């Protein structure tokens, strides 16, 4: 279920030049998601599967230029066996640091990967306030469980895509008690110009100054660095 590969990225692994591996499929339906091809089954099935051997070969070609690999999606933890195999081979056959992007809905998968020391860095996406997760098909209790598993094991960040419909000062207030456990919080601009999952819902858009105001608002409430992305 590996559906994509990008050889070089300057933005997907903090502090590193990294390759990116994309797993297909997702158990959430976030209206603002712009990885539409990786989420919708009817579009996902049109993408060819990439073999693990292909990915490893591409990574080895780049070992002298990149220092990390980010595994993202979709939601990679929905494919635990394929994900574990890939990470094991990256760990065994390359010197690259491994970052996992996840919606944190599969805590036991993350736990198993951490116990086998197959992850060096984790990015967890916070979508909205806990009581609104049902709007996306999610369960925030699973996110809490994943947070508890990760704490103290590896560095991790929490990413929040600033979609006005789902993220305002109210939702941020309700998330703040979870944010201080992270190494940093990344507040990301919603890429409204990209195709997204529900183009019929008016999600709104924050301008650069509004994003900076949200950043300042968060910084007054938490004790970890807040960074802006895609501004």
Half-sphere exposure of 190 (CA within 13 A, CB side): 24
Kindly state the average pLDDT of the residues 57-74: 97
Which domain CATH number covers 56? 3.20.20.70
By mean pLDDT, which of 46-60, 172-186, 189-203 is the weakest?
189-203
- Eight-state DSSP code of residue 134: G
Quick: pLDDT tens for 68-98.
999 999 999 999 999 999 999 999 999 999 9
Quick: pLDDT tens for 148-186.
999 999 999 999 999 999 999 999 999 999 999 999 999
pLDDT grade, residue 192 (50/70/90)?
confident
Domains contained in the chain, number: 1
The helix/strand/coil state of 35 is: coil
Closest CA to 38 of 165, 197, 180, 171: 197
Residue by residue, DSSP assigns 183-218 as SEEEEEE--TTS--S-TTS------HHHHHHHHHHH
- pTM of the entire structure? 0.96
The domain in which residue 118 lies consists of 2-229
CA–chain centroid gap for 63, Å, is: 23
């Amino acid at each position: 279920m590996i559906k994509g590969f990008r050889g070089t990225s300057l933005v997907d692994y903090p502090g590193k030049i990294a390759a990116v591996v994309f797993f297909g499929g997702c158990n959430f339906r976030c209206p603002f998601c712009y990885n539409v091809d990786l989420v919708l089954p009817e579009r996902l099935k049109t993408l060819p599967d990439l073999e693990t051997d292909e990915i490893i070969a591409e990574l080895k070609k780049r070992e002298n230029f990149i220092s990390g690999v980010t595994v993202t999606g979709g939601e990679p933890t929905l494919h635990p066996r394929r994900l574990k195999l890939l990470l094991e081979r990256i760990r065994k056959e390359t010197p690259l640091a491994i970052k996992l992007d996840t919606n944190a809905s599969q805590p036991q998968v993350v736990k198993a990967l951490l116990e086998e020391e197959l992850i060096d860095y984790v990015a967890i996406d916070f979508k909205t306030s806990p009581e609104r997760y049902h709007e996306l098909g999610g369960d925030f209790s699973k996110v809490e469980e994943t947070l508890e598993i990760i704490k103290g094991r590896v560095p991790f960040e929490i990413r929040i895509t600033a979609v006005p419909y789902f993220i305002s000062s109210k939702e941020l207030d309700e998330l703040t008690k979870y944010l201080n456990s992270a190494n940093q919080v990344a507040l990301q601009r919603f890429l409204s110009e990209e195709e997204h999952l529900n183009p019929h819902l008016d999600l709104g858009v924050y301008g650069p100054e509004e994003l900076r105001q949200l950043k300042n608002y968060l910084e007054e409430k938490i004790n970890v660095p807040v960074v802006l992305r895609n501004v």
